[in-house]
Every structure is written in C-alpha cells, then in structure tokens.
Amino acid sequence: MIQRTISILGSTGSIGTQTLDVAESCGIRVAALTANHNIDLLEQQARIFKPVLVAAADMTAAAALAQRLSDTEIRVMGGQEGILGAASIPEADTVVTALVGISGLEPTLAAIDRGKRIALANKETLVCAGPLVMARAREKGAEIVPVDSEHSAIFQCLQGSGHKEVKRILLTASGGPFFGKTAAELENVTPAHALKHPNWSMGAKVTIDSATLMNKGLEFLEAMSLFDVPPEKIQILVHRESILHSAVEYCDQSVIAQLGSPDMRLPIQYALSWPERVPGPANPLDLFSCKALTFAQPDMETFRCLALAIRSAKEGKTAPAILNGANEIAVAKFLAGEISFLDIARVVEYALETVPREEADSLEAIRRADRLAREAAEACCAQR
C-alpha cells in the first residue's frame, strides 16, 4: 500500500496508464485525471478510479465528456483551466506530470505552488525552466521526484549520500532503434521505422526523440537541474540492453547503479512510494536471462541532436528552451511527413543559430524563447 492521493496530468498516455496500474496495485487514491481529447479512455478510467475531477484540454471533448459522466458525481472541466484545476486540486498530495512538451510547465508550477509532491514525467519542464522550477520547489517545500527511468535510477543511487561526494553521473542511453547506423542510412527513415523502439513502449514524441537521441540530450539537461550538476559531471553511456538504468560515480571511485527490467511502472511507483519501497506490479529482473551488459560511447556525429542539446546545456540561458521549442516543431513535422528524419537536427540547429539568447530567469523569457524557436523552426521547415 502507498498512502497517497494523486492527480495524473495526462492519464491516457503511456505514463498515465501505467501510473493507474501502479495505483490499482498499490491502493493509491486518485483525485484527478486529465487528457487532451481521448475521452473514451478517460471516461473508462473515471468510472474505475472515481476521481473528484476529470479534465480534457480540448473544450469540445470536455463538453462531450461532461455529458457522458452526467450520471456520476465527478466534476468535469475543460481547457487549460481544467488542467490547472487538476494540478492544484486540494484532495491530491501528489501530481504525476505526464504531459508532453512545454505544455507541462504551467501546471507543474501550479502544483509546486500548492506544495505538492511532483512525480515528474514531463522532462521538457526542467529542460526549459530548470533553475526556475527547482528554485520555486525549494521555496514552496515541494518535493520533485523523477519518473524518467534514468533519473529515477540516479535518484535511487543518490539515497543516503551527500552532493559533495558525487564525482560523476553516468546517464545510460539505449541508443534507440538506429544504433550503429550511418547518416546516409538514416536519410530515408520514415516515422513508422522511428516509432519502433527496441526496449521501451512510450508515446510518439519521446519515441522519435529516442530515435534521434534528442531524448538523451533532454535527459542530460533534466539531470543537470534535478541533481544540480554541471555538464562536465555527466557522462552518457550507450547501454543497449536497458537493464542498468543509470549510475552515480562517487569521489571514492565507487559506482552505484540501479538495475531492473525495462518497465516504467517501477520508476513511477518509486516516485510515489519514496522514501519507502513496497511490492508492486513491475516485472522482476532475471539476471541469468541477461546475456551481457555492454557500454559504448554515443555517436554524436551521426546523432547530431544529442550534440546540439549538450551544446545548449553548456551555453545555458534560454538556449535549452530554444532547442526544445524547435525540436517539438521538428518532431511534429517529421511525424506529419513534412520533413526528413535528418532534418530534425537541421531545424533545431537553425533555431539555435538564429534565435537570440536571454537570461532564463522568468517565465516570460522562457515563453518568448519557446515562441521564437517555434517560429524559426516553422520557417526552416517551410524551406525544406
């Protein structure tokens, strides 16, 4: 049992549905659920978990949902107001932020302002506004516990240790579906190819980001904020088997790693049960069935998105927000068949080269960087 009441922002996505698996298995109460427009699934979830509130970001979907749930006591809201309502609902002590992209930023801040624990599955929030979000969380006493499998691993490896003792973070990457390929071989990759991930089942945005290795770049930025480390203290290791989920190297040369089967329900559950551990639904790891654990350097010449992300990490200011905004557009255009796979990095690079930097010290500066990056990316896509 986990004594928590949660609100899930993005309950119909991959993280959201797996969070509900954990909730069912661990006796976690559910106060609110939100989705964009998948009201068929949202209605089903609402009838099973009986939250106080459900919200759909799409107003038309919300109206239809209200109609469908009119035989229940469940409150239905729509639009950004509904998402913010779910983020700040008094009944929940924990908010699982499983929204995609920078849309997760404001709801996450709303939950932080209520002092709730954030089970953070929306990495773009920390990529774009890491220092701002972490400072606000400290000020409001809101715990931020990562759900991303690598960051959960690092968080687990850091338990009981001091920040000063950390020498390096070893951030693992599966390498994605195109590991070992050359740029020439990637020129004609289609969305269908890129959507097949070897180890993890995830949403479309993060699956494409995994194929370009942008996901690892975003995770690099996420780790800098979560664990307060500079870029020099993060080493990326390609680890094809996705068994060792990341590690921490300490000043005495000890390396502490977390291993487990590639099952997101484990990091989701830990974000909810921390600092305790409880039995849950995740698949066990059978080390005898693991043939070998291998580690390699990432190929940043072929997977240029990763190099661009690390460049933006070293530069700081609004560079990561620009990188992220341009990437969100580029991935959407690739999925729509409007640009090629290799164009994703070209579009992101164009935005990084053309959008001016600012200090990332206010929400306004971050929003401006995001907007300008999207405009630059759209313009770049239009020429392709």
Per-residue x/- marks for Mg ion, 215-254, CB under 5 A?
----------------------------------------
Report CA torsion sign: 192, 194, 198, 203: negative
Tell the smallest beta-carbon distance from residue 174 to Mg ion (Å): 9
Q: Are 347 and 381 in contact (CB under 8 A)?
A: yes
Stretch that binds Mg ion, among 145-153, 254-262, 322-330, 354-362 (CB under 5 A): 145-153
Report CA torsion sign: 121, 126, 129, 134: positive
Question: Torsion-angle region of residue 70: left (phi > 0), alpha (psi -120 to 50) or beta?
Answer: alpha
Helix (H, G, I), strand (E, B) or coil at 371: helix
Name which of 45 and 149 has its Cβ closer to Mg ion.
149
Before 198, cis peptide (omega within 30)?
no
Cα–Cα–Cα angle for 337, 219, 8, nearest 5°?
80
Q: Does 209 bind Mg ion (CB under 5 A)?
A: no
Query: How far, in Å, CA of 115 to CA of 94, rounded?
Result: 9
Tell the smallest beta-carbon distance from residue 202 to Mg ion (Å): 8
Name which of 42 and 218 has its Cβ closer to Mg ion.
218
Name which of 53 and 300 has its Cβ closer to Mg ion.
300
Helix then strand then coil, in percent of the chain rounded to 5, is: 50, 15, 35
Please measure the distance between the N-terminal and C-terminal CA atoms of the chain and give it in whole angstroms.
53
Tell the smallest beta-carbon distance from residue 363 to Mg ion (Å): 26
Name which of 150 and 249 has its Cβ closer to Mg ion.
150
Non-local (6+) Cβ contacts of 303 within 8 A are 176, 178, 212, 213, 345
Name which of 49 and 270 has its Cβ closer to Mg ion.
270
Tell the smallest beta-carbon distance from residue 53 to Mg ion (Å): 29
Name which of 148 and 249 has its Cβ closer to Mg ion.
148
The 3-class secondary structure across 76-116, one letter per residue, is EEEHHHHHHHHHCCCCCCEEEECCCHHHHHHHHHHHHHCCC
Name which of 43 and 150 has its Cβ closer to Mg ion.
150
Query: Which residue in 148, 249, 263, 328 binds Mg ion (CB under 5 A)?
Result: 148
Compute how many residues bind Mg ion; rule: CB under 5 A.
Answer: 3
Tell the smallest beta-carbon distance from residue 150 to Mg ion (Å): 5
Residue nearest to Mg ion according to CB distances in the complex: 148
Helix (H, G, I), strand (E, B) or coil at 250: strand
Q: Are 44 and 18 in contact (CB under 8 A)?
A: no
Q: Does 343 bind Mg ion (CB under 5 A)?
A: no
Stretch that binds Mg ion, among 128-136, 141-149, 248-256, 367-375 (CB under 5 A): 141-149
Tell the smallest beta-carbon distance from residue 157 to Mg ion (Å): 15
DSSP 175-199: --TTTT--HHHHTT--HHHHT--SS
Stretch that binds Mg ion, among 77-85, 150-158, 225-233, 357-365 (CB under 5 A): 150-158
Name which of 270 and 350 has its Cβ closer to Mg ion.
270
Tell the smallest beta-carbon distance from residue 148 to Mg ion (Å): 4
Tell the smallest beta-carbon distance from residue 158 to Mg ion (Å): 17
Q: Which residues bind Mg ion (CB under 5 A)?
A: 148-150
